[in-house]
Amino acid sequence: MTATRKNTDPIAPLVETLLSEIGEDPGRAGLTQTPSRVAGSLRYLLSGYAKDLDALVNGAIFEEAYSEMVVVRDIEVYSLCEHHLLPFFGKAHVAYIPDGRILGLSKIPRIVDMFARRLQVQERLTTQIGDALQSVLEPQGVGVVIEAIHLCMAMRGVEKQNSSAVTSSLTGCFRDDDKSRNEFLALIGHR
C-alpha cells in the first residue's frame, strides 16, 4: 500500500489509478503525495457545490432608496471547464440597478465564486450569476459580463493562446434600455 492510501478522501485512490493508467509510478518520490494533493485541490476548486445562495447572502440585503447603477468590476474568476476539466480564468463584471434594496458589496464576488467553483461552461456561469442576483434582490435589472481565457483552447485543440471568450447576461433594464446597457458597458471599459 502506498502512502497516499492513508488519505481518507475517496478521490485520492482514483488519482493514484489515473497516474498508473497514464504510465506513471504513483509510488515514486515526486508522486507519493500527489493523489492526496489533487483530492484536496479538487475539493477546493469545486467547493461551490456545497454552497447555498440564501446562506451565502445571509441577510445582507438592505432597504435603501438608492436607484443608480451599482457595478463591481474586475472580479477574478477561476473555474474548470466541464468538458476537459481544464481551467478557465478571467474577470467578471457585475451590475444591478436597485429597486429599493441593495446587497452588501462583498456578496457579489462571493456569488461569482459560488458558481465558478463548479464544473462549468462560461455561458451558464454568466447566466447563473445574473439569475442569482435577480432572484435575491429583484432589482430593475442585472448585467453580467465575463471575459475569460480557456486552457482547453490554449493548451489543446485549436491551441490559440491569445484568444478569450466574452459572455453576457442582461435582465430587465439592461436588456430593454440602451442607455442602461451602454452605461454599464462604458463603466466596465467596453464600447
Fold agreement (3-45, 52-187): no
For 52-187, the fitting CATH number among 2.40.30.170, 3.10.20.740, 3.30.110.70, 3.30.1130.10 is 3.30.1130.10
**Domain edges within the chain:** 3-45, 52-187
The pLDDT tens digits along the chain (191 residues) read 444 446 689 999 999 999 999 999 999 999 999 999 999 999 999 999 999 999 999 999 999 999 999 999 999 999 999 999 999 999 999 999 999 999 999 999 999 999 999 999 999 999 999 999 999 999 999 999 999 999 998 888 888 888 899 999 999 999 999 999 999 999 999 85
Q: Which residues are catalytic?
A: 81-84, 122, 150, 152
CATH topology of domain 3-45: GTP Cyclohydrolase I; Chain A, domain 1 (1.10.286)
The CA distance from 160 to 147, in Å, is: 15
Burial of 108 (0-12, 13-18, 19+ CB in 10 A): buried
